[in-house]
Amino acid sequence: MTVVPLCLDAPDLMQLRFDPVVASDAASLGQFFAASEWPYHVERRVDANWVRGRLESGHFFGQDSRSFWIRVGVETPDDIPIGLARVFDLSDLTPLLDLRIAATARGRGYGSLALRGLTTWLFSEYPETGRLGGYTRHDNSPMRRVFEKCGFQLEALHRRAWRVDGGEPVDAVGYAILREEAEAL
């Protein structure tokens, strides 16, 4: 299946592009993940070996998952991604998402724009899908605000369910949006 890049116009004229991640992006994935710390993920720091293992398992793309580079504006030769979005469990009742914004781009509203674009893409490409969900740590206030700004509803609290590398598990929260809710926004 070919995925057409999605452009999303924001009120401030900022545009985001979603370009599919492909097999030849292995080195770029390694660079992207290694360039930032991921404080609310199990592995705060990841390297090329982590990426390689995920590529081999179909984590980023395949029959049941799709991933996209998130870029700002129109295409240029030196496009640097500001984020990576992944939708997985596409054959399940509730596909899930993983949204990562690079440390250098956080706090600028890209997360909300990206989640809106990803939601629009899912519901247009998968007409039989009726909901989209995502999980985060209970203390990830930025992501929780993004979910809420984009119309996702808090549906779950899982006590001590989020693994922490070298620490005790913490609480996880689950959010979801129904197709009709997304279409009404």
The tens digit of pLDDT for each residue in 8-29 reads 444 444 688 899 999 899 889 9
For the structural domain made of 6-130, what CATH number should be given? 3.40.630.30
d(C-alpha 24, C-alpha 4), whole Å: 18
The residue assigned the tokens 């999605």 is: 6
Residue 96 has pLDDT above 90, yes or no: yes
Domain spans of the chain, in order of start: 6-130
Could you read off the pLDDT of 46-79 as tens digits, one per residue?
888 888 888 888 889 988 999 999 998 766 656 7
How much is the pLDDT for 12?
45
How is 44-73 classified by DSSP, letter by letter?
SS--HHHHHHHHHTTSSSSSSEEEEEEEES
CA-only gyration radius of the chain, Å = 16
